[in-house]
Structure 1
Amino acid sequence: MKKNWIVLLCAVIVMIAGLALVLSQNHISGTPVATSSDILANSTPKAPSSQESSEIIAMTSKSNVYTVKEYEGHIGVFFNDERKPYEEIQVEVSTLPEADRKLLKDGIKVTDTDRLNSIIEDYES
């Protein structure tokens, strides 16, 4: 009976140590947490930094990618590599500031639906 308790205690200690290691690695890596304020600045979405770009490229192989870009004079939201948008936003691109037109020409790629909704809301307001 005593041997079973010792084995159980050792297993618990190993699990706690493993969890602590994983949590410390996440803390050390310094992976930024993206918020909607990271995407929007003064009603103009920011271009992703080089770190965000590499993060997006790394995530594209693992998850779905949404691209917000100009489509037939207004804004289209494309899912993965589709040629036709799955959603069209009736905002004329020509009425937007130059910075927004450039971003939409290049396409804004996101993998998170909350970030996608923030971008869409920004352009619709």
Structure 2
Amino acid sequence: MTYRRYKTLTIILLIVTVIALLLSAVMLTLRRSGLAVSGEPESPPENPATVYYTPKPAPSQENSETEESKAEDKFLVTIYRGGIGVFQPGKSVPVLTKHTEVYLLPEEDIKLLRDGIWARDLSHAKEILEDFD
């Protein structure tokens, strides 16, 4: 095999490899954004309990309190910088944080955290954080 032919084949293989890597990166990005190749949202897994951890059902997850009881609550558990933060009302810096990849949680849990979960004290807030381990 001549040097020229070897060089040509090497360049062709390099181009094919780069194209394959680019296609893989695009597919991975589409998959992470929730889109399948067809452009439609992916269907949820058949058994989400095996894929995601759902926090144990407890009163700490309930957010059906009245406005009067919220006034007595002292801490708000919500999403903070991609994780979970515990805030005192009116404060912009969290008292506690937990590095949990929130985007991996089930949609119901993400909605609860976006709305905010009220805790009556710091130990109650810690219990809520433990639910998201």
In structure 1, C-alpha distance between the alignment counterparts of 2:71 and 2:98, rounded to whole Å: 28
Larger strand share, 1 or 2: 1
TM-score by length of 1: 0.53
Change in CA separation of 1:40 and 1:80 when aligned onto 2, cut-off 3 Å: farther
Partner of 2:84: 75
Quote the offset at 1:113 in angstroms: 3.0
* One-letter identity of the residue aligned with 1:110: A
* One-letter identity of the residue aligned with 1:72: R
Over residues 5-51 of structure 1, what are the superposed CA-to-partner deviations in whole Å (9 max), with x where a residue is unaligned? xxxxxxxxxxxxxxxxxxxxxxxxxxxxxxxxxx9518x953322xx
**Residue 41 (structure 1) aligned with residue 50 (structure 2):** no
Partner of 1:53: 66
Runs of 4+ aligned residues of structure 1 deviating over 4 Å after TM superposition are none
Q: Identity across aligned pairs (percent)?
A: 35
Gaps of 5+ in 2: 1-54
- The secondary structure found in structure 2 opposite 1:88 is strand
| Contact 2:83/2:99 (8 A) holds in 1 | yes
2:126 to 117, 121, 124: 117
Gaps of 5+ in 1: 1-38
Partner of 2:35: none
Larger helix share, 1 or 2: 1
| Contact 1:45/1:100 (8 A) holds in 2 | no
TM-score by length of 2: 0.50
Quote the offset at 1:59 in angstroms: 1.7
* One-letter identity of the residue aligned with 1:119: I
In structure 2, C-alpha distance between the alignment counterparts of 1:90 and 1:78, rounded to whole Å: 15
* One-letter identity of the residue aligned with 2:69: I
In structure 2, C-alpha distance between the alignment counterparts of 1:111 and 1:119, rounded to whole Å: 11
| Contact 1:67/1:110 (8 A) holds in 2 | yes
| Contact 2:87/2:94 (8 A) holds in 1 | yes
In structure 1, C-alpha distance between the alignment counterparts of 2:88 and 2:71, rounded to whole Å: 17
- Whose radius of gyration is greater, 1 or 2? 2
In structure 2, C-alpha distance between the alignment counterparts of 1:53 and 1:40, rounded to whole Å: 23
* One-letter identity of the residue aligned with 1:41: P
